[in-house]
Amino acid sequence: MKEITKILFVEDVMSDAELIWKEIERDKIVFEKVLVENEHDYISAISRLKPDLIISDYSLPQFDGFSALTIKNRISPWTPFILVTGSVNEETAVEIMKAGADDYIIKDNMSRLGAAIRSAISRKDALRIKEAALDALR
């Protein structure tokens, strides 16, 4: 992992965002954060920040995690995406994973967030390297 990981957060409740940040800090991940809560700011932040990772809530007043994932897949497919939410059932979680999320974490139990971040970034880096090697072979 890089020395400083750029993370884009999609969250509308500041206290939830702060809990997530504390959990990441507890796992000794050094990160730069940008917080957005609507689609316009999200798209702008992806372009401007070029994040190493996106962490999104599922339910926001005017936006949702599934839409965030769909947009990410279209404009930044190599960026890992983790859903951190308090309001997702198993069916929705499976749907999110099938759509390309790297992981999902329930807000009531964020103990594996650090491991999920490291794993998601490592997997995407490995896929990026593999794709570059295949391109070189072609």
DSSP one-letter code for 64 = B
pLDDT in tens, the chain (138 residues): 678 999 999 999 999 999 999 999 999 999 999 999 999 999 999 999 999 999 999 988 889 999 999 999 999 999 999 999 887 778 888 899 999 999 999 988 899 999 999 999 998 888 778 777 887 888
pLDDT recorded at residue 34: 97
Work out the number of other CB atoms within 10 angstroms of the CB of residue 66.
18
Q: Is 6 helix (H, G, I), strand (E, B) or coil?
A: strand
CA dihedral 61, 106, 15, 79 (to 10 degrees): -70
Say if residues 1 and 53 touch (Cβ distance below 8 Å). Answer: no
pLDDT recorded at residue 1: 65
- CA dist., res. 27 & res. 48, Å (int): 26
